[in-house]
């Protein structure tokens, strides 16, 4: 699952992480009506072409998966 954050909503990036997680931390503003900073969230698959850089292709938007899972009675889908 990947979330997209608008560039103008990013306040700061700590590239070194902290004592718990060494991955970069992205600090952003929550300017959208949702309770999260993401403009879009979805499920993606990683693709690595021969002699190329990896990239991600969206399989399905989060909301579509959430609604279908709820309809089918699936509680945990990620």
pTM higher than 0.75: no
**Model confidence at 51, in pLDDT bands (50, 70, 90)?**
confident
Are 22 and 16 in contact by the 8 Å Cβ rule? The answer is yes
Of 64 and 38, which is predicted with more confidence? 64
pLDDT of 1-12, one tens digit each?
A: 999 988 988 999
Q: What is the pLDDT of residue 34?
A: 66
Phi, psi of 37 (to 5 degrees): -85, 0
Among 17-26, 30-39, 45-54, 58-67, the range scoring the smallest mean pLDDT is 30-39
């Amino acid at each position: 699952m990947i979330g997209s954050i608008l560039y103008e909503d990013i306040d700061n990036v700590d590239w070194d992480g902290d004592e718990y997680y060494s991955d970069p931390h992205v600090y952003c503003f929550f300017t959208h009506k949702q309770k999260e900073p993401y403009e879009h969230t979805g499920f993606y698959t990683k693709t690595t072409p021969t002699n190329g850089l990896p990239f991600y292709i969206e399989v399905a938007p989060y909301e579509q998966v959430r609604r279908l899972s709820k309809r089918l009675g699936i509680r945990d889908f990620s």
